[in-house]
């Protein structure tokens, strides 16, 4: 795609790994440049990359207050409206995390009359937000090497003493995004340590970065020896494009993140589960009841299953409660 070629909202949503409603909100707020071509809203790749760059280099201003609509890719922290929140009344139920499933859950709550907003950030930060009371729920995918499991060990460590319920959303493989044909023959975690292998790394706090660091720790490997380890790409599709362009040999991500990126392929390495963690408070009780119904619905299963290469067979199962 040329840098000046027009993209539609769906293209941008796929490129930034976020919901289409979020793209419209960014355009409405002026954070992402957009153009009206006839009755259609269009974007250019240059402007999308400029938006990503601005969120990466902007100084942190701390946690935003709940009423402020804004959003950023995984690794940056901000709030955004979900679905038609502006038409609903009441204190919003804030869902933290960077996974597209969080958009689906928030939109379902809004459609059911419960106002919901999204705080977009990495999975690690999402749990910190929940523990600090800056979010009511967190959508996370964090792999723990010691237990060979996902999320629950982090819930116990990052939200000690908190009363929570953890709903399973879906499973998918994390793995290597490599150039077509896998010319460096990257098929094991240890192959990342070879001389001449360049990594397009993900931002700290993202599920992909946590997975990589867990695997490196298990091998007792020195992360700093990997060429590119100190690079930080917040968006998986951006890291994939760096691989496609020859800037890097490999990135960690999901098969979903290579959609629309030519010249790359996916090597599955580790099954991960994405879960919804909800803090049990007096205010959250009716929302938890509603979530149980929504997660058991055919509509939710269809929406979650539409995420590429995911396993929604355990959707709605409570995997942990305290």
Q: Poorest-confidence range of 11-15, 80-84, 113-117?
A: 80-84
Same fold yes or no, 63-172+272-321 and 173-271 = yes
pLDDT band of residue 195 (cuts 50, 70, 90) is very high
Tokens of 60: 């942190």
Q: For 190, phi and psi rounded to 5 degrees?
A: -65, -25
Burial class from Cβ neighbours inside 10 Å (0-12, 13-18, 19+) for residue 214 reads middle
Tokens of 169: 């959303």
Helix (H, G, I), strand (E, B) or coil at 275: strand
Instruction: Match 């819930």 to its residue by tokens.
Output: 155
Q: How many CB atoms lie within 10 A of CB 133?
A: 11
CATH of domain 173-271: 3.40.190.10
In degrees, rounded to 5, the angle at the alpha carbon of residue 251 between the alpha carbons of residues 173 and 193 is 105
pLDDT surpasses 80 at 94: yes
- The pLDDT of 160-186, averaged and rounded, is 96
Q: If you count them, how many residues does the chain have? A: 322
Q: Strand pairing of 93-96 and 116-120?
A: parallel
- Tell me which H or E stretch contains 252: strand 250-254
What whole-number distance in Å separates Cα of residue 13 and Cα of residue 32? 12
pLDDT surpasses 80 at 297: yes
pLDDT tens readout for residues 233-255: 888 888 999 999 999 999 999 99
CATH of domain 1-59: 1.10.1660
pTM of the model: 0.75
What whole-number distance in Å separates Cα of residue 316 and Cα of residue 300? 10
Q: For 274, phi and psi rounded to 5 degrees?
A: -100, 130
pLDDT surpasses 50 at 318: yes
What are the residue ranges spanned by the domains of the chain? 1-59, 63-172+272-321, 173-271
CATH architecture type of domain 63-172+272-321: 3-Layer(aba) Sandwich (3.40)
Q: What is the DSSP letter of 307?
A: S
Which whole-number Å values give the CA distances from 253 to 122, 134, 177, 266, in the listed order?
13, 27, 7, 9
Q: Check residue 33 and give its pLDDT.
A: 82
Q: Check residue 54 and give its pLDDT.
A: 63
pLDDT tens readout for residues 257-283: 898 899 999 999 999 999 999 999 999
What whole-number distance in Å separates Cα of residue 167 and Cα of residue 304? 13
pLDDT tens readout for residues 137-172: 999 999 999 999 999 999 999 999 999 999 999 999
């Amino acid at each position: 795609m040329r840098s000046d070629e027009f993209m539609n909202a769906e293209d941008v949503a796929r490129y930034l790994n976020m919901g289409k409603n979020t793209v419209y909100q960014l355009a409405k707020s002026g954070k992402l440049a957009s153009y009206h071509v006839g009755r259609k809203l269009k974007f250019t790749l240059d402007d999308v990359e400029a938006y990503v760059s601005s969120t990466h280099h902007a100084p942190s201003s701390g946690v935003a207050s709940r009423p402020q609509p804004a959003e950023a890719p995984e690794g940056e922290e901000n709030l955004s409206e979900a679905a038609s929140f502006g038409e609903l009344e009441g204190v919003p139920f804030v869902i933290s995390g960077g996974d597209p499933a969080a958009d689906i859950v928030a939109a379902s709550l809004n459609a059911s009359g419960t106002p919901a907003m999204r705080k977009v950030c990495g999975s690690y930060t999402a749990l910190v937000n929940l523990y600090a009371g800056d979010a009511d729920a967190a959508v996370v995918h964090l792999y723990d090497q010691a237990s060979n499991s996902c999320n629950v060990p982090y819930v116990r460590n990052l939200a000690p003493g908190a009363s929570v319920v953890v709903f399973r959303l879906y499973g998918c493989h994390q793995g290597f995004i490599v150039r077509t044909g896998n010319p460096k023959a990257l098929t094991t975690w240890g192959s990342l340590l070879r001389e001449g292998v360049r990594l397009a790394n993900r931002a700290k706090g993202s599920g992909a970065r946590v997975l990589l660091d867990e695997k490196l720790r298990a091998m007792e490997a020195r992360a700093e020896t990997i060429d590119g380890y100190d690079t930080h790409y917040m968006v998986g599709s951006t890291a994939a494009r760096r691989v496609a362009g020859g800037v890097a040999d490999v990135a960690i991500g999901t098969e979903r993140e290579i959609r629309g990126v030519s010249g790359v392929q996916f090597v599955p390495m580790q099954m991960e589960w994405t879960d919804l963690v909800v803090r049990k408070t007096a205010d959250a009780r009716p929302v938890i009841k509603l979530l149980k119904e929504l997660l058991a619905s055919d509509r939710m299963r269809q929406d979650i299953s539409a995420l590429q290469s995911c396993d929604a067979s355990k959707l709605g199962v409570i995997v942990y409660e305290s």
